[in-house]
């Protein structure tokens, strides 16, 4: 089924590698086959990007189905609001002011480790994240999984893609057989290239993710569907796919809202102040001492 919606600018490069429309349809098929998505479901797309998954869903969800998407990247949310919501009012998009050094460097007030999803508890049948946990650090993923438990109805499903490290993928990584080789161990995760920001591609131990799901009341449904990123011959998609069902409601202590707000302002204010100082230095042609010292060290 092809959509009559326009394509966003940079469709095939901004959301991730590959063809925007083909990948959207590929994943809709996985949502239905592996995740049990139904046309009447209330769906949450975490990290909705520029609507790559929303687009095929406009043709799939029926009049009782609903779609909510949020993302930290303002431009994608803006495009979806301008182009999808006017034609499909049941599709709504929000911007999350959450910091991510790759996707939202300048307007991220909140840390993903304490962000509260702007939706009521027990309100979704299906939550999905395609290529989102692959750009987040462990404390952020943990908080998001807790939030997913909160917003899902009991019996609802979470469909998420990951790079999951197993002894086998570590071995193929060390042999350089993957298109990504996660051989650099960081604090609770693995990266492929130490020269890039870590959020460019993050890999987690599979057993750690399964333990986190257990703690957060999510039980895997079916096997992990392995991706081709590690150089495997037998694979389903590029990233690994993990589907889980909410089996119980779990209550977690949350950082109180005023504390979150103060931290958000100080974090944002701190970054804004540093940016101002850098700008002033540039405009006035000044050279702060630290820079002079660094230049001296480099010359030595």
Residues lying near ligand SAM in the complex (CB under 6 A): 15-16, 46-49, 52-53, 71-73, 76, 96, 98, 100, 103, 112, 130-132, 135-136, 140
Beta strands in the chain (DSSP E): 42-46, 66-71, 91-95, 124-129, 152-162, 164-165, 184-185, 190-191, 202-205, 218-220, 240-246
Looking at beta carbons only, is 142 or 170 nearer to ligand SAM? 142
Task: Tell the smallest beta-carbon distance from residue 174 to ligand SAM (Å).
Answer: 26
What's the full length of the chain, in residues?
300
C-beta of 37 vs 170, nearer to ligand SAM: 37
- In angstroms, give the least distance from the CB of 47 to ligand SAM: 3
For 90, counting Cβ atoms within 10 Å of its Cβ (0-12 exposed, 13-18 middle, 19+ buried), the class is: middle
State the minimum distance, in angstroms, from the CB of residue 200 to ligand SAM: 10
Q: How far apart are CB 276 and ligand SAM at their closest, in Å?
A: 25
Shortest Cβ 19–ligand SAM spacing (Å): 12
For residue 120, how many other CB atoms are within 10 A of its CB?
9
Contact by Cβ (8 Å): 165, 190 = yes
Q: 61 in the Ramachandran plot: left (φ > 0), alpha (ψ -120 to 50) or beta?
A: beta
- Residue with smaller CB distance to ligand SAM, 46 or 61: 46
> For tokens 């990948």, what's the residue?
23
Nearer to ligand SAM, 117 or 213 (CB): 117
């Amino acid at each position: 089924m092809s959509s009559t919606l326009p394509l966003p600018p940079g469709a095939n490069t901004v959301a991730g590698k590959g063809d925007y429309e083909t990948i959207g349809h590929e994943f809709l098929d996985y949502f239905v086959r592996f995740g049990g998505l139904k046309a009447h479901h209330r769906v949450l797309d975490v990290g909705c990007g520029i609507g790559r998954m929303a687009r095929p869903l406009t043709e799939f969800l029926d009049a009782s189905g609903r779609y909510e998407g949020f993302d930290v990247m303002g431009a994608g949310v803006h495009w979806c609001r301008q182009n999808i919501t006017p034609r499909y009012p049941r599709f709504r998009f929000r911007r999350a002011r959450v910091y991510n050094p790759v996707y939202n460097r300048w307007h991220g007030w909140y840390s993903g480790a304490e962000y509260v999803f702007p939706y009521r508890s027990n309100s979704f049948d299906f939550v999905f994240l395609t290529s989102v946990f692959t750009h987040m650090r462990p404390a952020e993923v943990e908080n998001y999984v807790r939030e997913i438990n909160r917003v899902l109805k009991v019996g609802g499903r979470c469909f998420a893609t990951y790079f999951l490290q197993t002894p086998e993928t570590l071995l193929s990584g060390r042999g350089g057989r993957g298109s990504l080789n996660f051989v650099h161990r960081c604090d609770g995760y693995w990266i492929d290239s130490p020269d890039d920001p870590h959020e460019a591609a993050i890999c987690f131990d599979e057993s750690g993710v399964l333990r986190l799901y257990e703690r957060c009341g999510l039980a895997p449904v079916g096997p992990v569907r392995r991706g081709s990123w590690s150089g495997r011959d037998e694979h389903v998609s590029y990233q690994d796919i993990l589907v889980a069902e909410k089996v119980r409601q779990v209550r977690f202590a949350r950082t109180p809202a005023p504390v979150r707000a103060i931290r958000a302002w100080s974090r944002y204010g701190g970054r804004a102040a540093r940016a101002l100082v850098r700008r002033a230095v540039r405009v006035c042609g000044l050279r702060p001492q630290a820079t002079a010292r660094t230049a001296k060290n480099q010359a030595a």
